[in-house]
Amino acid sequence: MSDLSNSKKVALGGFVVLLSVLCLYLASILPTNKIFFFCLSTIFIAAIVIEFKTYFSLITYGAISILGFMIIPNKLIMVPYVIYFGYYGIIKYYIEKINNILIEWIIKIVLFNLFVYATYIIAVNLFISNIDIKLPIWIILLLLQIFFIIYDICYSLAIKYYKYKIRRFLKVR
């Protein structure tokens, strides 16, 4: 690989790290739009997946995670990012290669539910000693499933927007 293409990887990777950490930071300090900025922080890695595939995407995800834990004041925001959403674009890339929408959705939802369980266990054991939940657990789980489906659809729309609108201006290849 040429020095120019390595430079492009580093430049785009650095830009993605900057945008992702900035969105995570805003999600942790702003009184409103927390979910929006958190979700937005996870979408930028899709550009790395599209342009450079898995290896560099994992390096970028690692950089965002490490820098996020160093900079973000509310460390709890980083838990769902590190456990699942930060590398969701990489997972999505491979799942959608199956080309069977039913199987793809089943895999995505099963993985999301494993993430929800892992996040709950980590949050209870490391950060929150006593959780007082006012809603029945089945309602919370149903709402999380709906959120995830909307998130995945928006993620797909963001990928299409990048591929067909933004990508031509970056001239990464």
Q: Is the dihedral of CA 146, 94, 47, 22 positive or negative?
A: positive
* Three-state helix/strand/coil letters over the chain: CCHHHHHHHHHHHHHHHHHHHHHHHHHHHCCCCHHHHHHHHHHCHHHHHHHHHHHHHHHHHHHHHHHHHHHCCCHHHHHHHHHCHHHHHHHHHHHCCCCCHHHHHHHHHHHHHHHHHHHHHHHHHHHCCCCCCCCCHHHHHHHHHHHHHHHHHHHHHHHHHHHHHHHHHHCCC
Domain ranges across the chain = 3-170
What pLDDT, on a 0 to 100 scale, did the predictor assign at position 1? Answer: 47
Least reliable range by pLDDT among 31-45, 69-83, 100-114, 123-137: 123-137
Q: What is the rounded CA–CA span in Å between residue 21 and residue 62? A: 12
Give the pLDDT mean for 153-165. Answer: 95
Of residues 170 and 136, the one with the higher pLDDT is 136
Q: Structure pTM? A: 0.87
132 or 117, which is more confident: 117
Give yes or no for residue 131 having a pLDDT over 70. Answer: no
